[in-house]
Amino acid sequence: MRFLTLIAIRSRNYSSRSSISAISHIKFAEFHGTCRYSSGVFKHKSVPGSRASETAINKPSETFDSIDFNQKTVEETISSYGNDWKRAFEFFDWIESDCRFRHNTSTYNRMIDVLGKFFEFDLAWGLINRMRRSGVVCSPDHTTFRIMFKRYLAAHMVQEAIDVYNTQMENFDLKDETSFLNLIDALCDHRHVIEAEELCKGKGSFFANSTKLHNMLLHGWMKMGWWSKCREFWNEMDENNVCRDVHSYSIYMDIMRKCDKPWKAVKLYKEMKKKGILLDVVAYNTVIHAIGLSEGVDESVRLYREMMEFGCKPNVGTYNTLVKLFCDGGRVRHAYSLLNQMREKGCPPDVITYHSFFRCLNKPKEILILFDRMVESGVRPRMDTYVMLIKKFGRWGFLRPVFIIWKKMEEHGCSPSEFAYNALIDALVQKGMVDMARKYEGEMLARGHSAKPRKELCTKPESNESDDVCG
């Protein structure tokens, strides 16, 4: 019989040089009838209700009451089960009922997001109504419904998302401009720009005078890759006397870069300067990337120095852009040099910084050393980090580093996503390890994920319920 063991893991202080204090990080883990310490904090044999646990669990004063379950820790734990909604929901209810933890709006929103990711909308609405019944403790906010918009639209349930705004928001006193902007933003973000534009036009003068709404729609057309529509919409803004701000220019410069016309982005940058529009860090980052593609990374460095002279402070995105340009140009030593300077310049590297290195490096040992350096410096890998590395090592036919990364993913408390399982199974099938591949395929199916059809495993095609499991 399987038992659920509660483990309180003292989250690693990943950098010995860093003064960041370690935080408590709670995890559930499954064991087959046994228990053990994890980081030496405490242990139990099973969840409340099982015979094996009755003696141990019924001592709250000696166990749970003495532990500070802070809000941030609970949010992080729910997020760590982002690919296993049942376990996340079990934890959410358990910590409230057995540990006397009081959920706030943030922890509710985190759980609602996980449920929406797997299209468990009835359960999500149940939590929203539970929040409303709780009274002063917590209540749904704009973030709650922004999550619902996002998850409905990830499932391409456009009318349901619109109905939430039209019929539900008034019940929570949240039918206002912020909610409308959140709906339009979610529609554009998930490539339902036609519907978003129709809703905007129904707002009359509010839409006609709103630069913010026009920017959202322009960004939506960019996400769809409809470059001719982007140009048409950009010109319409000018014809309709819609004020183009720095964000409008940033979006359109990015459009020019993405449609392989980076020199036009540089031209727009010069137009902004001529009009006296002050560039912010986002605009500079966009043109730094564009000029690097059109004229080379040395010109990007020159522009980086210019932004410093004009008093625009670079952010981590600025350095990430330069690192990527160096890596893509084969100048990895320059990229490493910049990586070493980032912390000194007040912009510590993030996971995106390291992704550029992982993509360009071609030695497994060097990648693993850099991965460990990343973790030790306090940068937590994302699920797509693990998937990227598993795929890369799998393509090269190196299973040892594949399993090293898989083990680290589990040690870091991440529940494998559908993409992680499929990457691992592909690597195993490529090496002819069919039995082990079947084992992991069975495990992923048991967790509610969809397996890719594979003739080697006799896997039948099945409909994929979600196109947004990573996110």
Tokens of 275: 């009009």
What pLDDT is recorded for position 450? Answer: 86
Decide if 438 is inside a domain. Answer: yes
* 283 contacts 250 by C-beta, under 8 angstroms: yes
Q: Is residue 188 part of a domain?
A: no
Please report the pLDDT score of residue 350 as a whole number.
98
Per residue in 288-311, pLDDT tens? Answer: 999 999 999 999 999 999 999 999
Residue 73 identity? T
Contact 379, 349 (CB under 8 A): yes
Does a structural domain hold residue 49?
A: no
Assess contact for 146 and 134: CB atoms under 8 A: no
* Domain annotation covers residue 427: yes
Residue 466 lies in a domain: yes
3-state secondary structure of 3: strand
**What residues does 173 pair with on adjacent strands?**
none
In a domain, 408, yes or no: yes
Contact of 327 with 356, CB cutoff 8 Å: yes
Count CB-CB contacts under 10 A for residue 303: 22
The one-character DSSP state at 51 is: G
Residue in 299, 292, 350, 348 with CA at minimum distance from that of residue 325 = 292
Distance CA 447, CA 440 (A): 11
CA distance 72 to 81: 15
Report the pLDDT value the prediction gives residue 6, as an integer from 0 to 100: 38
Taking the C-alpha atoms of residue 296 and residue 293, their distance in angstroms, rounded to an integer, is 6
The phi and psi torsions of 425 (rounded to 5 degrees) equal -65, -40
- 326 part of a folded domain: no
Locate all alpha helices (DSSP H) within 17-120, ordered by sequence.
54-57, 71-80, 85-97, 105-117
- Interhelix angle 281-295/246-258, rounded to 10 degrees, is 30
- How confident is the model at residue 245, as a pLDDT? 96
Nearest C-alpha neighbor of 114 from the set 415, 333, 462? 415
CA atoms within 13 A on the CB side of 331: 14
Q: What does each C-alpha distance from 442 to 88, 422, 431, 450 come to in angstroms?
A: 20, 12, 19, 10
User: Where in the sequence is the domain holding 419, given as residue range(s)?
Assistant: 379-471
Residues in the chain: 471
Tell me the per-residue pLDDT of 396-406, one tens digit each, with 9 for 90 and over.
Answer: 999 999 999 99
The structure's pTM equals 0.79
Give how many domains the chain has, as a whole number. 1
Nearest of 416, 411, 444 to residue 81 by alpha carbon: 416
**142: in domain:** no
Separation CA 190–CA 467 (nearest Å): 11
What's 380's DSSP letter?
Answer: P
**Residue ranges, the chain, pLDDT below 70:** 1-68, 135-136, 459-471
Query: What is the C-alpha separation between 353 and 442, in angstroms, rounded?
Result: 35
pLDDT reported for residue 426: 96
Q: DSSP readout, 118-168?
A: TT-HHHHHHHHHHHHHTTTS----HHHHHHHHHHHHHTT-HHHHHHIIIII
